[in-house]
Every structure is written in structure tokens, then in C-alpha cells.
Amino acid sequence: MAKFLNNKNVLKNLVITGSEKEYGKQTIQGIFRSLTEPLLEQQSPEGLVLLKLSNTEGINSVIKRLEFSDVKMYSYCDNLINEKVINIEKNSIWGDTEFILILAPRYSAVLIWDWSILNNGMSQVCLILNSREITDIANLIFENSTIALNEYLTTYAPDRREQKTMNTAINKIVNCLDNVNQEMVFSQAEKENLSKTEDLLKEYEQISNKAKMTAHEIKNHISVIDLYSKILEKRIENNKLDAETENSVRNAISSINKSAKIISSFISELRSYATPLFCEKQLSKVVEEVINLAKPKAKEKGIIVENYVEEQYRVHIDEIKMQSVLLNLIYNGIDAIDKNGRITLKTAGKKNNQVILHVKDSGNGISKEIVSKIFDEGFTTKDDGNGQGLTICKKLMEEQYGRIELKRTGEDGTEFELLIPTI
């Protein structure tokens, strides 16, 4: 490993010799997030994180989580400075080179990249996990620091011991790179197929880019939700609350986390058609969790949501997808009720190895003129609707080898029938 001499940017040389492949910003952001997860997933995160970043877009949530943890974090640039993070760069020799270095109990990692080397929006990388080479890189960075950091190398000495956190990090990085490569191949294939019609190609690109931007932005907000739910949990632990208030707040946090999980699942489907993850579940418990998620919205209109699902039924489902179907139907029911109504979820026996579940509301019903269109994509009667709700419900039920049908509708309300595979 080269030594720190004559104020030369040795880290840039490590990028040039580190790999032959070129990676885009999205891929490097994915690697960045993956490297921090083994650190943040510890029960009591501790260690040292050194950063030099020109732009935190796409990784803001990770930076916030690091700041909120007990990890010591220092910056080698001014754009990360705040009440917890300070700039400790001695000489401005790193130029456009960016990096993250992690030293923690039984886990060490370094990622270095530089967009100025290729000038094409791509970069080679120097990526090292749990190796003694990290000691040499750390020393190079330490020598250009205004504070003494050598004690961290003594406390968290990088080594070659095989361990779970390292393997987890490697798997996530490989998956990240593989997903991005697959996406690039898929996009290229789509473009080639559409090349005969220039206008159609442009439309495809616009829709694809919009979907990616939307997914990216929503994921950022989900990360913020996740961050502040953890903040609330810590504050509950540090403050004495009466039992009723504490229970109420914890239930609220649990509902927030479950909703964020459901949203994340759908965001993933903007990038790919996710294969259902089937598991055995007690249907009454699944329904109970969904009702808890819907209660705040129902309460605003004085609506009661009832669970009459018998405990005997166990089903074979993708829990997240099933929750999404039920939540969609309940929300539709709430929208259909003016005030002080009732929504009921009730089992009605079995049919051909499928549990029959009825979701009934006391709303205004669906007019006969549009009954045949309610599952059509894009059809909606709501001013702020996009016509995707029932279309998605039908798709998700079919993915789980189930079915959804409109059983009846009228002035006294609407009832949907779900057929769910049982064990």
C-alpha cells in the first residue's frame, strides 16, 4: 500500500487500480447503504465512520441514522457539518475523491470512488471488506486529520476473520450490483424493441424515469418515517409515561412501521414484478393487524371496523400483499360511508380448499352503470383517485392463487368476496 507522501491524492490511485468495471451513482449509493447496514443493525451501534461526500442525495436517510446512533462520525468536507459532525480535514488533498471508511467491532469496510476520473457519470471503485489493507488506508486518512484517530485502529483492528456481518454485507452488495445490471439489460432490450417507433420510445423513457424518480422520492420519505419512529421509541424509553399513553404511542409506532413496510413492498414493484413470498398465517390475525392500521382513518368518520373472522382458518398467502388488498377494501369502504357507518370482515366457510372472506361496508353502494368497470385499470369515481386500487387488489389476489369478486351492492352498502387458499 502506498504511503501518504508529498500531499498526493493516493486514494484516487486506489480507485484507478481498484476495479476495471465502471459503476453509476445509483449502484454506488446502493453499495454505500449496504456497507452501513451491518453497523446499524447491531443492538448498540458503535465504531468510527469517516466520510467525504460531494452529494448526499439518495443516502440522506443513512446519514441521519448514523448521526442518531452512537457511532463516532467525522467529515472531510463542509457539506456534512452539523451539531454532531465536524470537518477534520487537515489539507485539501483529496480533491474530487469521495469515500466512506467504517471501523467497528469485528467489522470494517472502505469504499472509495471519484467521478472526475472518467468524466462520463461513472466511476471505478476501491471496495474492501474486513481486511488488513483497511489499516493502511485508514492510516492514510488519519494522517490528513486534525484530530488523533489511531486509537480506533487499536480498538477495532481490521482482520480477516470470517463472520456473519461481513457475509451479509457482501451478499447485499452483490445483489445490489446484480439488480442494477439486470435493470440496465432490461432497459436496453426494451429500447431496442421500441426503436422502430421513436415517439413510443420517448414515451416509454418518460414513464420509466418518472417511475424511478417516484420510487426514489417515496423511499426517502419512508426512511424518514423509519428514523423518527426509532426516535419516538427511544424517547418513550427515556421518559416516564402512564401505561395508557405509552401503550397508545407504541401502537401508533407499530402501525406506522407496518404501513411503511407495505408501501416499501409496492415501491419495489415499480422496478420489478416481485415474486410472492408465501407463508402460513392465521387469517384472523392478519385481519386484526389490518384493522389496527385502518382504525385512525375510520375513527375520523365515526366508522366501526369489525373482525368476525374465525380463528380456525390458516391460509397460505403473501402477508404483505394480502394486507394491501384488505386495507384497500377497507379504505374504499370508509370513503363510501358518509358518517357513523360500519365495515365488517367475516368468514363464510370454505370452498374448494379456499377460505371465503366477506368485506362489507354500509356505504352508498356502487351504481349499476359502473359495476362492470370497477376492476378496470384507470377507472375511478373519486376526484383524487387514479383507478388503480381494485385493479391492484385483483392482481394481488391472482398472484396468491386467490380471487376477488363483487358479491353485491346497493343502497345499504357493498360486499366483496375473497377466496383465499387455505392450508
DSSP code of 274? P
The mean predicted confidence, pLDDT, of the chain is: 80
347: pLDDT confidence band, cut at 50, 70 and 90?
Answer: very high
pLDDT > 80? residue 178: no
- Could you tell me if 333 and 325 are in contact, meaning their C-beta atoms sit under 8 angstroms apart? no
pLDDT > 50? residue 2: no
- Nearest to 329, CA basis, from 413, 224, 231: 413
H helix or E strand, kind and range, residue 306: strand 304-308
pLDDT > 70? residue 328: yes
The C-alpha atoms of residue 283 and residue 277 are separated, in whole angstroms, by 16
- Could you tell me if 300 and 337 are in contact, meaning their C-beta atoms sit under 8 angstroms apart? no
Lowest-confidence region among 51-65, 144-158, 163-177:
163-177
Domain 279-421: assigned CATH number: 3.30.565.10
Q: Which residues of 120-136 are buried (b: 16+ CB within 10 A; e: fewer)?
A: eebbbbbbbbbbebbbb
Three-state secondary structure readout of 126-160: EEEECCCHHHHHHHHHHCCECCCCHHHHHHCCCCC
The C-alpha atoms of residue 252 and residue 225 are separated, in whole angstroms, by 12
Give this prediction's pTM: 0.45
Domain residue spans of the chain: 10-180, 195-268, 279-421
pLDDT (tens digit, 9 = 90+) per residue, 188-226?
555 555 554 555 555 555 655 555 555 555 655 565 566
- Nearest to 403, CA basis, from 331, 342, 353: 353
Lowest-confidence region among 153-167, 281-295, 302-316, 408-422:
153-167
pLDDT (tens digit, 9 = 90+) per residue, 45-78?
789 999 999 988 888 888 888 888 889 999 999 8
The C-alpha atoms of residue 122 and residue 124 are separated, in whole angstroms, by 7
Domain 10-180: assigned CATH number: 3.30.870
151: pLDDT confidence band, cut at 50, 70 and 90?
Answer: very high
The pLDDT, as a whole number, for residue 420 is: 95
The C-alpha atoms of residue 168 and residue 78 are separated, in whole angstroms, by 32
pLDDT (tens digit, 9 = 90+) per residue, 261-307?
666 655 555 444 456 788 899 999 999 989 988 887 888 889 999 99
Tell me the three cell numbers of residue 127.
471496495
376: pLDDT confidence band, cut at 50, 70 and 90?
Answer: confident
